[in-house]
Structure 1
Amino acid sequence: MTSANSGNSANSDRELGFTPTHRLREMIGSKEISPVELTESHLRRADELDPKLGIFITRISDMAMDAAREAEAAVMRGDGLGPLHGIPVPYKDTEPMKGVRWTHGSLTYKDNIAEVDSIPLSRVKAAGGIITGKTNTPENGFAGTTENRLGPPARNPWNPDKTPGGSSGGASAAVASGLTSFAPGGDGGGSIRIPAAFAGVYGIKATQGRVARAASPTRNAGHNIMNNATSGPLTRTVRDAAETLAIFSGYDPRGEYDTIADDVPDYVGALSRGVKGLKIGWTPDMGGNPVDPEVALVAENAAKAFEELGANVETVDFKPADHEEVFWTFFDYFTIKGLDAAREDFDNHREDMTDYFGEYMDRADTLSAERMWNIFSNIGAYRKYANDYFGKYDLLLSPSLAVPAFDIGDAPSVIGGKEVPHRLWGFTPFTYLFNLTGNPGASAPAGFSSDGLPIGLQIIGDMKDEETIFAASAAFEEAQPWADKRPPVS
């Protein structure tokens, strides 16, 4: 094969790192580059970027090279090749990979070896993806930033003093810095959309149940503690997101009861549909949430672009309940599900937990049955509200987050002159509602702050309607391209 990386120059490695996944697959299929050459290039980039950005918890370079050699042999034999054949993929450490350390970002599991592949990870491998390591995540995925007790925090390539978000922070740093053009994440409260917004990349959470997840009763056998999380892609381009979400999506008999059994929609086919004639609502604060005025302005200007593309956009008062009620409903639901999965750790290893996760579990352990009833009643009301809204509108637009990325460990307690209900979650008031309702949502790069930090636009769709989100995202990407923008650390 002819190497696209002759001389192994850092420049060529960088260009490959920023090359869209679909283009790399074409290059492998036409033998412009081999899986071995591409994986070697990726691993050199990881050597350079990981120490600066805290991308990985665990690297598996030898295993990756073994898989690359097998992938190259398949190309030379003329075998049928999957849609990710020979593509290096760093994978979030909340998902297990058989025979590889699986920590969940938790000190308690620093020596844990996974016994099985998760369903989403197995689909990436079946598509030909080469897993190169496990990316950084907060403890059990339970934070909107990425710090844990296992090692350094994940850092933002646009400014390494800033957070890249969480819980898929290692994944977003990997994509934004050009280590890869595709890294899987998981979203249980915004954990794909948050890091996508902070790092200036594209991320989408599918409808709850679109991506199968294991129903195993034990964490080590493949149970994700974030058991209401939805696996999905962080990418540089909308097309890469559409192609990779299709790989994740679909029924699996091993999945839990709420897995959607419908055929996987034609995400790629939707990319050319455009937005002409769509009725779209825009909300700057989603019912009075604190938001930085600069963020609201950048997101509003992005929303106006949809009018120029032919959609009907109007400002809406989207408010399913008081914003503090929505937050505490989410927070208590979130922590209760975490305690259910982490009960043994909480009872026996409380001292090993991070401060934030331990505090979440302490609160969950005191919640009453009455509060549980109230939580589920609220969730039902929010779902009805969202269903009623999408009976009138095709999409909802909002800022992805309330602020640009902040210094690591310094989440704001006051935003736009208003106190937030919880410091560690106050910057992300627009994402978690749609984990409660189950609606699909994406974050697309909308622009930059005056300090040069990315700002995201959240695009929410009706249940099972990822196609309209992709159509809108692709039209917006064409009108205001972002994939050519590269951060200082890249």
Structure 2
Amino acid sequence: MFDATFPGYTPAYELRRMIGDKELSPVELVEATLRRIDADNSKLGSYITVIGDEAIEAARVAETAVMRGDKLGPLHGIPVPIKDLEGVAGVRLTHGSVPADEISDTDALCVERIRSAGGIIIGKTNTPEFGHAGTTENTVFGPSRNPWNLKHTPGGSSGGAAVSVAAGMTSIAQGSDGGGSIRIPCAFSGIYGIKATQGRVPRRITSEHSWHPVNNSSVGPMTGTVLDSAVLLNVLSGPSPDAEYTTINEEPPDFTTALGSGVRNIKMGLSLTLGGAVVDSEVANSVLKAAEVFSELGAEVEEVDFRPKDNEDVMSGFLDYFCVRGYAAYGNLLKNPDKAAQLTDYFRENLENGRACSTTRYISALNLIGRCRNYTQNFFDRYNVLLTPVTAVPAFPINEPPSKIGGCVVTNRRWGFIPFTPLFNLTGNPAASIPCGFSAGGLPIGLHIIGPMCDEKTVIAVSAAFEKARPWTEHRPNLSVI
């Protein structure tokens, strides 16, 4: 049933059905969404920019199409927020960065596809500076806050998008993932999200960096339900003549057809450490209980030592690659003293690390990527999916990443809580975050489901089987206290 106070707690697929059956007006839905955002955005920090007038006008056009009996797209009349790293024509684009604040000339390719499917762009969600952190704080707007505990981070870099869904503002949101930036905030915020195979969701060529053969970042869905993610992934996926070099040129499958497949006889590898990472006991226990659910559903679950290299080496190589790519794209900001002074500490540190990285270390990082891709491909010759935690800990207080995890000192606090996600940005494999439990403090915990290249359907099938066995949408943050 549609709740106008919390419109995002009705799944998008149900809202779309109601709109098509003339039970709900797109104008009514958009107005309810804007009221919901207005009520709590100042406390939650989900949206940097809200485009209410434009959204209402688009909703009126959508309503006219319904009344005319036009053929409607899969997102017709559904409000969709866009992460503020992607352009929306005529709308402010901050990148979460004071010196990079601008107005977009054109829609990003993902925005074009969402509009073509009938989606209504509602605003731009909060992100750390250029997406360069696993939490969401910047000096443009301030931090995003976790709806389950406002003192805690919702994760990042798609933190504002996660908050929009978790707080019932919208049913779906567009995110992007270059090191875990969809999966981390989904885990911390208790929602679902999937990073597709590298190249499945195209991005438009915008610079020389669009030709890089290892594209670690991918646009993807963040939603309350698995079906909503499958629908949005259908919309976002597929080749484009304007797309980057790494785009998959074959037409994608219909991801919604995977939902009823189940997991019987699916062979799953389970790794709690991914090559030696330390994990909080509450996270480990929740993941183990989730694995037991899959066993009960007929899957074959086996603990494995998934170790292309030691986790510390993988993280070191990822950061070298990530920071060098960041410096190549944005290093000019360091050359201007006025702009450099406006950068956040974490982004400046990443740029400086990229500048300092030797060619030998960068080549070693590329060699690591090749090794990890080969190892992972061989693993999936024997297993259908890999299960790990998404993060090493539940969400922590804003600007206070853990200094110890499982009694062990964390050597790099900015990155030490995410030892599980970056590897699969290097390999390019599809990977999802699915709610699987709560900490003693009432904070969500995420299960990481990784599949073979180009096999998002298996990841979605496994996710849907768990969702059916252990529904999570009935668990909602207590928003009456914020």
TM range (shorter): over 0.9
The aligned residue for residue 394 of structure 1 is 384
Determine if contact 2:431/2:450 at 8 Å carries over to the other structure: yes
Hey, what's the Cα distance between the residues in 2 that align with 1:255 and 1:151? 31
Hey, what's the Cα distance between the residues in 2 that align with 1:128 and 1:344? 38
Determine if contact 1:166/1:192 at 8 Å carries over to the other structure: yes
- SS of the equivalent of 2:103 reads coil
Code of the aligned partner of 1:74: A
Structure 2 residue 459 is the aligned partner of structure 1 residue 479:
no
Aligned residue among 42, 47, 56 for 1:65: 56
Q: Deviations over 1:251-286 (max 9, x none)?
A: 011001110011211211111111111110001111
Aligned residue among 329, 346, 358 for 2:334: 346
- SS of the equivalent of 1:467 reads helix
Structure 2 residue 255 is the aligned partner of structure 1 residue 267:
yes
Q: Which structure 2 residues correspond to residues 440-459 of structure 1 after superposition, within 5 A?
A: 440-459=430-449
Determine if contact 1:20/1:240 at 8 Å carries over to the other structure: yes
Determine if contact 1:192/1:203 at 8 Å carries over to the other structure: yes
Code of the aligned partner of 1:436: L
Aligned residue among 307, 310, 335 for 2:298: 310
Structure 2 residue 11 is the aligned partner of structure 1 residue 20:
yes
The aligned residue for residue 285 of structure 2 is 297
Q: Between the two proteins, what is the percent identity of the paired residues? A: 53
Q: Deviations over 1:434-474 (max 9, x none)?
A: 00000000000001011110000000000000000011001
The aligned residue for residue 102 of structure 1 is 93
Code of the aligned partner of 2:420: F
How far is the alpha carbon of 1:214 from its aligned partner? 1.3
Q: Deviations over 1:19-75 (max 9, x none)?
A: 000000001001111111100000000011211100011111111111111111111
Shift in alpha-carbon separation, 1:421–1:379, aligned structure 2, 3 A: farther
- SS of the equivalent of 2:448 reads strand
How far is the alpha carbon of 1:223 from its aligned partner? 11
The aligned residue for residue 371 of structure 1 is 361
How far is the alpha carbon of 1:14 from its aligned partner? 2.8
How far is the alpha carbon of 1:78 from its aligned partner? 1.4
Structure 2 residue 470 is the aligned partner of structure 1 residue 469:
no
Structure 1: 4+ residue segments shifted above 3 A: none
Hey, what's the Cα distance between the residues in 2 that align with 1:189 and 1:374? 18
Q: Deviations over 1:212-232 (max 9, x none)?
A: 01111289xx999x9631011
Hey, what's the Cα distance between the residues in 1 that align with 2:334 and 2:264? 52
Could you say what the CA RMSD is over the residues aligned between the two structures, in angstroms?
1.6
The aligned residue for residue 422 of structure 1 is 412
The aligned residue for residue 38 of structure 1 is 29
The aligned residue for residue 247 of structure 1 is 235
Aligned residue among 244, 253, 257 for 1:256: 244
| TM-score for the superposition, normalised by structure 1 | 0.95
Determine if contact 1:49/1:179 at 8 Å carries over to the other structure: no
Hey, what's the Cα distance between the residues in 2 that align with 1:56 and 1:246? 25
Code of the aligned partner of 1:339: Y
How far is the alpha carbon of 1:352 from its aligned partner? 1.2
Hey, what's the Cα distance between the residues in 1 that align with 2:216 and 2:272? 27
User: Structure 2, unaligned stretches of length 5 or more?
Assistant: none
Hey, what's the Cα distance between the residues in 2 that align with 1:208 and 1:14? 37
| TM-score for the superposition, normalised by structure 2 | 0.97
The aligned residue for residue 439 of structure 1 is 429
Hey, what's the Cα distance between the residues in 2 that align with 1:174 and 1:403? 22
Hey, what's the Cα distance between the residues in 2 that align with 1:134 and 1:55? 9
The aligned residue for residue 120 of structure 1 is 110
Hey, what's the Cα distance between the residues in 2 that align with 1:241 and 1:49? 25
Hey, what's the Cα distance between the residues in 1 that align with 2:310 and 2:208? 37
- SS of the equivalent of 1:281 reads strand
- SS of the equivalent of 1:14 reads coil
Code of the aligned partner of 2:415: W
Aligned residue among 45, 54, 75 for 1:54: 45
Determine if contact 2:198/2:215 at 8 Å carries over to the other structure: no
Structure 2 residue 83 is the aligned partner of structure 1 residue 92:
yes
Determine if contact 1:64/1:132 at 8 Å carries over to the other structure: yes
Hey, what's the Cα distance between the residues in 1 that align with 2:263 and 2:270? 15
Determine if contact 1:227/1:337 at 8 Å carries over to the other structure: no
Determine if contact 1:290/1:420 at 8 Å carries over to the other structure: no
Determine if contact 1:335/1:360 at 8 Å carries over to the other structure: yes
Q: Which structure 2 residues correspond to residues 174-193 of structure 1 after superposition, within 5 A?
A: 174-193=164-183
